[in-house]
Amino acid sequence: MSNVRMLIVNDFDSASVALSTGTVIASLPPSNMQIYNNSRVFRSPSLNLVLQGDFADIRLISALVMWRHNLTAAATIRLELFAEAAQTGVKVYDSAVQFALPQITYGDWDWRVQPVVASAFDGWATRYSQLWFEPVFARSYRLTVSDPVNSAGYIDITRLYMGRHFSPVVNFSYGSQWGFDSSEQQIRTDDGGLFTSPSAVWRKSSFSLEHIDSSDRSALNSAIRHVQRTKDWFISLYPEASGQLEIEHSFACKFTNLPQSSNPSFETWQYPIALEEC
């Protein structure tokens, strides 16, 4: 199983973005994907889209995450990265056409109630798509999204993350915690009934990176200093595990506390991590 992956510095936020194929709704433009706000989405009535743009400078890219979208199990995505601006020069990466959502695994599939072809995201209100690959230096990008059978009649994407992800040499230690939280209010009535007001539910997790070496320490400190507690980022605790395990433990998040490192042994640092879905 691969070690935790943390896409903390989002180079997409400082890049240009334009819709070269498809229709733009003026009040819900592609630039909304560069702003953290779950109420401000990018929406297009076109079911075949091409988004493209230039990074602020040459960037080292190894991951793409499309967070909170309405794509179906039949949707596909393709990411292309280029060495020069305006999608020119050598193509340094091409994901080829990929399904936007993973299929349900055999271990998670309940043949009694689920169709043979089902998505791991069936039943989830929040969906995401992800690509992880070896780092490449890129100056521009092109993202193709296709979902011709989407019954909604439009494509929504709330947030897009693109940059170089951090993955420690040694994974987080046993004893990690994960669960749901909400702001629901429960009221006990005089007749003994317990009533609850509906509320949004979010995920939270805590774990410890206890074997961070010198090279990892530098990269992690720089990333933490960049986002602090104010900026959102993406984490996958069990990347490539597939199925419910992977999607349950992958989400956009913020630090709830800035990690305070300790130095228990020579050139080894420990970082307690606490975060919540956002």
- Quick one: three-class SS letters along 161-183? EEECCECCCCCCCCCCEEEEEEC
Q: Which of 32-46, 94-108, 166-180, 240-254 has the lowest mean pLDDT?
A: 94-108
Q: Which of 8-17, 121-130, 233-242 has the lowest mean pLDDT?
A: 121-130
Interacting residues of 196 by C-beta distance below 8 A, sequence separation 6+: 184, 185, 186, 187
Q: Kindly report, residue by residue over 188-201, the tens digit of the pLDDT.
A: 998 999 998 888 88
pTM of the model: 0.91
pLDDT tier for residue 243 given thresholds of 50, 70 and 90:
confident
pLDDT tier for residue 119 given thresholds of 50, 70 and 90:
low
Higher pLDDT among residues 176 and 114, named by residue: 176
pLDDT recorded at residue 102:
79
Higher pLDDT among residues 193 and 105, named by residue: 193
pLDDT tier for residue 108 given thresholds of 50, 70 and 90:
low
Tokens coding 101:
């959502």
Distance of CA 13 to the CA centre of its chain: 14
pLDDT recorded at residue 57:
97
For 14, other C-beta atoms within 10 Å of its C-beta total 13
Q: Kindly report, residue by residue over 198-213, the tens digit of the pLDDT.
A: 888 899 999 999 999 9
Tokens coding 80:
């292309």
pLDDT recorded at residue 215:
87
DSSP the chain: -PPPEEE-S-GGGGS--EEEES---TTS-GGGGGS--TT--EEES-SEEEEEEEEEEEEEEEEEEEEEE---TT-EEEEEEEEEGGGEEEEEEE--SEESSPBPPTTT--TTTS-SS-BTTTT-S--EEEEEEEEEEEEEEEEEEE-TT-TTSSEEEEEEEEEPPB--SSPPPS--EEEEEE---EEE-TTS-EEE----EEEEEEEEEEEE-HHHHHHHHHHHHHHTTTS-EEEESSTT--HHHHHHTEEEEEESS----EEEETTEEEEEEEEEE-
Q: Is-contact 76 100, C-beta < 8 A?
A: yes
DSSP 37-79: -TT--EEES-SEEEEEEEEEEEEEEEEEEEEEE---TT-EEEE
In sequence order, what are the beta bridge partners of 157? 42, 69
Q: Kindly report, residue by residue over 140-199, the tens digit of the pLDDT.
A: 999 999 999 999 999 999 999 999 999 999 999 999 999 999 988 889 998 999 998 888
